[in-house]
Structure 1
Amino acid sequence: MPRMDAVTLRQLRALLAVAETGSLTAAAGGLGLSPPAVHAQIRSLENALAVPLLIRAPDGSGSRPTPEAALVLETARRIDIALRGCVEQIAAVKAGHAGRVTLGVVSTAKYFAPRLVARLKDLCPGIEVSLHEANREGIVADLERGAVDLAIMGRPPRHPEVTATVLGPHPHGLVAPAGHPLAGRRVTVEDLVDQPMITREDGSGTRILMTRYLDSQAEGRVFDLTVMGSNETIKQAVLAGLGLAFLSLHTVTDEVQQGRLVTLDAPGLPLIRQWFLVHPQHAPLSPAARTVHDRIVGLGAAVLPGG
């Protein structure tokens, strides 16, 4: 009865060599073995499969495969091709030309991240880049537990410790619907205190920046805040006249260009922060992640709206 667990690559390669050269002696020369060693490998393979694999020529000039051996040889060639492909893929992964990379982005970055992934597909065709979106707290947690290889965000976290590279400027400002009474003129703090504000949830980087801005300008005065869970919902609320919003101006590029929203000329605005590409210091980048990292850094501000 055949014993598949007894079949080895060395045996299959010995059979292939004999089939290709026509003799044990020639096969041994190609494999760097002695003829008895090659014969022993084939005998072991015959015992494992419980069938004869070679027929000795009547004149003693060589050996030819049996019909059963032809089936084994076909399988051996497929195995050899698969192994060569595997070796090539491993080499590509080690060189950073292949692999899978998870790129985390804060919610605000989703307005340009898909375009970036499309660029990376052209620049790194052998690397699969998957996109993962979350708010700032979520991306920080993902960096901590190693759920993302790289992340694009605003202010880098203090924990976990990360290596951060600046990609380009990230402006923030107040937006209003076209035709709003505050549009087109210099806005004062008193004007803002009287306006309802629509904002992101706690934990959002934009919410943190807005709070700091309003605190610095209004000296502790209370604003009428309405919390909404996404930039898209906030934009629709502003367009509907429900209030003003403090947003990344990269999230409203299209609406401003179309004249549907306007940015307000308010004190200290726009606030210019930076976009960063970060990765955890505690975990070395894989070769594929290093390749993607270097490609993104090379693109720099070109990945951003208007870049």
Structure 2
Amino acid sequence: MDQSLVVFKEVADRKSFSRAAEVLHMSQPAVSQYISALEKEYGVRLLERSNKFVQLNKAGEIIYQYAVDILRKYEQMEILVSDLKNQPGGELKIGASYTIGEYLVPLILKRLQDKYPDILPDVMIGNTDTVTRTLEKREIDIALVEGEIDRPKIEVEPFAQDRMFIVVGNRPELIRKQYSPVELEKETWLIREEGSGTRRMAEELFSFLQISPERALTFGSTQSIKEAVEEGMGITFLSELAIKKELQQQRLHRLDMEGLPFRRQFSLIKNEQEFHPKALQVFEDEVRMLGE
């Protein structure tokens, strides 16, 4: 492995020679020497330095992008070769959209860890668009997301189906069986942010009902929406997975309407590549078992 690229990436990530030196267990002069040697090799400065910060310039940004890819491929190479003689293990970087990450991933990881304790999951949770972009940049190995994904060079495999319901709190005037679209249009709707799979489903619901809510409040997480609905701030449209406990405790209630529940796919997505480490393969197997 090219140690100069390792050092350069750490300096760029930390925006500091001293912090990079701490992480790499090196002296600061040694870090500076690696950076100077790299700049001499390419004949151009890669970092702009001041007393307060270190940041990439244009040439540095080019080197950084390729360094990330090179180091990632080197790591994958080591894992794949190790897989030939060892049990699945090592770090596995997993992305998940909020609903899946909060309500399904813990179950999957518990089963994975029981069978393969040498696998070290590193999970990032975000909305569907954020997770998909992170996968495309190869900052994670695999992801579980909601809704349809149509991106070049990304493999998509549906693994389960989700059901979506209109949800209300314990307001007596709201807990009844049937609503007209006109009545729903006048309610305050609590919805997720742009880029969320749950947000897209809410927009599909509005289109299906042919309504445009008079008032809509945007939240960055499903948990905050559930709490706000419980407090009587409005109504929402959420996954059955997300509201299972609250329904059982009668803290939330779902509305029955013709055409509901809506259904959507949960999908496993990954970048197209020839080789996949054993850790990723066994994780996929655990995910597929959810749909059986």
TM-score range, shorter chain: 0.5 to 0.7
SS in 1 for 2:108: helix
SS in 2 for 1:138: helix
1:256 CA displacement: 0.6
Residue by residue over 1:116-172, the C-alpha shift from the partner in whole angstroms, topping out at 9 and shown as x without a partner, is 211110122221122111111111111111111111111242114322222222111
Matched, 1:263 2:249: no
In the other structure, the counterpart of 1:300 is 290
Matched, 1:147 2:139: yes
SS in 2 for 1:172: strand
Matched, 1:228 2:199: no
Which structure has the greater CA radius of gyration? 1
- Compared with structure 1, are the counterparts of its residues 138 and 221 closer, same or farther at alpha carbon in structure 2 (3 Å cutoff)? closer
Matched, 1:184 2:180: no
How many equivalent pairs are there?
213
CA distance in 2, matches of 1:192, 1:138: 30
Matched, 1:247 2:238: yes
Tell me the TM-score normalized by structure 1.
Answer: 0.64
Residue by residue over 1:80-118, the C-alpha shift from the partner in whole angstroms, topping out at 9 and shown as x without a partner, is xxxxxxx9x964465552222111110111122122211
1:202 CA displacement: 0.9
Residues 83 and 278, structure 2, Cα contact 8 Å, conserved in 1: no
SS in 2 for 1:272: strand
Choose the corresponding residue for 2:206, options 214, 220, 242: 214
Choose the corresponding residue for 2:97, options 96, 106, 110: 106
Gaps of 5+ in 2: 1-77
In the other structure, the counterpart of 1:123 is 115
CA RMSD of aligned residues (A): 2.2
Residue by residue over 1:49-84, the C-alpha shift from the partner in whole angstroms, topping out at 9 and shown as x without a partner, is xxxxxxxxxxxxxxxxxxxxxxxxxxxxxxxxxxxx
In the other structure, the counterpart of 2:62 is none
My pick for the range that moved more, 283-292 or 96-105, is: 283-292
CA distance in 1, matches of 2:234, 2:180: 16
In the other structure, the counterpart of 1:280 is 271
- Compared with structure 1, are the counterparts of its residues 92 and 140 closer, same or farther at alpha carbon in structure 2 (3 Å cutoff)? closer
CA distance in 2, matches of 1:185, 1:296: 35
SS in 2 for 1:192: helix
In the other structure, the counterpart of 2:42 is none
CA distance in 1, matches of 2:134, 2:82: 29
The letter for the 1-side match of 2:142 is L
Residues 177 and 261, structure 1, Cα contact 8 Å, conserved in 2: yes
- Compared with structure 1, are the counterparts of its residues 149 and 180 closer, same or farther at alpha carbon in structure 2 (3 Å cutoff)? farther
- Compared with structure 1, are the counterparts of its residues 129 and 283 closer, same or farther at alpha carbon in structure 2 (3 Å cutoff)? farther
Gaps of 5+ in 1: 1-86, 303-307
- Compared with structure 1, are the counterparts of its residues 283 and 217 closer, same or farther at alpha carbon in structure 2 (3 Å cutoff)? farther
- Compared with structure 1, are the counterparts of its residues 94 and 163 closer, same or farther at alpha carbon in structure 2 (3 Å cutoff)? farther
- Compared with structure 1, are the counterparts of its residues 195 and 163 closer, same or farther at alpha carbon in structure 2 (3 Å cutoff)? same
Residues 158 and 267, structure 2, Cα contact 8 Å, conserved in 1: yes
CA distance in 1, matches of 2:87, 2:133: 26
In the other structure, the counterpart of 1:159 is 151
What percentage of aligned pairs have identical amino acids?
25
- Compared with structure 1, are the counterparts of its residues 277 and 94 closer, same or farther at alpha carbon in structure 2 (3 Å cutoff)? farther
SS in 2 for 1:301: coil
- Ranges of 4+ aligned residues in structure 1 off by more than 4 Å: 89-96
Matched, 1:194 2:168: no
SS in 2 for 1:128: strand
CA distance in 1, matches of 2:216, 2:150: 28
The letter for the 2-side match of 1:133 is I
CA distance in 2, matches of 1:231, 1:169: 18
The letter for the 1-side match of 2:163 is P
- Compared with structure 1, are the counterparts of its residues 288 and 149 closer, same or farther at alpha carbon in structure 2 (3 Å cutoff)? same
CA distance in 2, matches of 1:283, 1:178: 53
1:186 CA displacement: 1.4
